[in-house]
A = this chain, B = another copy of it.
Amino acid sequence: NPRLHVSLEERRSSCKHPIASRLFDLMMAKKSNLCVAADLPSLDEVITLAESIGPKIVVLKIHVDILEDFSLTKIRQLKEVARAHEFLIMEDRKFADIANTVQQQFHGGVYRISEWADLITAHPLPGPEMITHMFGDSSSDSRRTCGCVLILEMSTKNALTNEDYAKEAAKWGLIASDIVTGFVGQSAPNSDFPGWIQFTPGVNSSSASGDSKGQQYCSPAKAVLERGADIIIVGRGLINSQDVVATAETYRTEGWAALTQRITN
């Protein structure tokens, strides 16, 4: 897959979405390809974490529906931290329903995700019309302010996201490449579109196997060099560590070294 060896500058110039360009800029400026999965039970704790590791990361990934103290006010506080430390916020909602439903889930409810998320995740399962209708027509704000990341492959044992599934999904993701800014996967997909960014979860330096509940792990180097990750997603490997700042620095260094090595090879 030629994408893997193209420079970030060059890939940035193929981007069709402003959020993807911004992410390439942040990666180059911060020398980081680290996304942290802030799976903590409260937004207060997420904000504290973000304040400390903000300089090391390019994306902070959250699950808004596990936060027991959610409020739009606190989300605005988190947005301030993101502005100050220059990282994007990804809401890992994994939208996966008919268009009429996901429209309401994306724009409405208590969370109003489209008002604050820079990136959201979606399962391609319901077919292509979900995403196009969710983001609206070209006059819609969320088309520019929020990028869609398609889940092509899952990190879990016995996942149903097999090769055929990922191939089919990548195909229609490419058709909507003004909305789809990247994908979540465990391998480079059957597309070498350099503007797409690959996010790889299941990264943990201290656990070689998994979490005993189906999650499977590999190291940052393996994720980048063998599996094609541009961005590594690290959750419990970091948030449960004693010194989160030092751990973030370690993951940043390892991830970035692997990415630089892959590109120059």
Chain A: residues with CB nearer than 8 A to chain B? 39, 41, 63-68, 70, 92, 94, 96-101, 104-105, 108-111, 123-130, 133, 154-161, 164-165, 168-169, 172, 211, 213-215, 236
Cα distance A196–B110 when bound, in Å?
Answer: 34
Contacts of A123 in B (CB 8 A): 96, 123, 125
Contact A100 B213 (CB under 8 A): yes
Question: B64, B94, B168, B236: which contacts A96 (Cβ < 8 A)?
Answer: B94
Main secondary structure, interface of A, reads: loop
Across the interface, which residues of B come within 8 angstroms of A161, CB to CB? 125
Contacting pair A98 B156 (CB below 8 A): yes
**A158 contacts which chain B residues (CB < 8 A)?**
127-129, 172
Asked if A70 and B110 make an inter-chain contact with CB atoms under 8 angstroms apart, the answer reads yes
Tell me, in angstroms, the Cα distance from A156 to B127 when the chains sit together: 7
Contact sample, A vs B, 7 pairs, CB 8 Å cutoff: A39-B104, A63-B101, A125-B160, A126-B154, A127-B158, A129-B214, A160-B169
| Alpha-carbon separation in the docked complex, A124 to B215 (Å) | 15
Copies in the complex: 2
Residue pair B66, A157 in contact (C-beta under 8 Å) = no
- Structural contact, A154 and B127, CB atoms closer than 8 A: yes
Query: In the bound complex, how far is the Cα of B41 from the Cα of A2, in angstroms?
Result: 46
Please give me the residue from chain B that is nearest to A64 by CB atom: B109
Chain B, Cβ-Cβ closest to A158: B127
B109 near A67: Cβ-Cβ < 8 Å: yes
B215 touches A99 (CB 8 A): yes
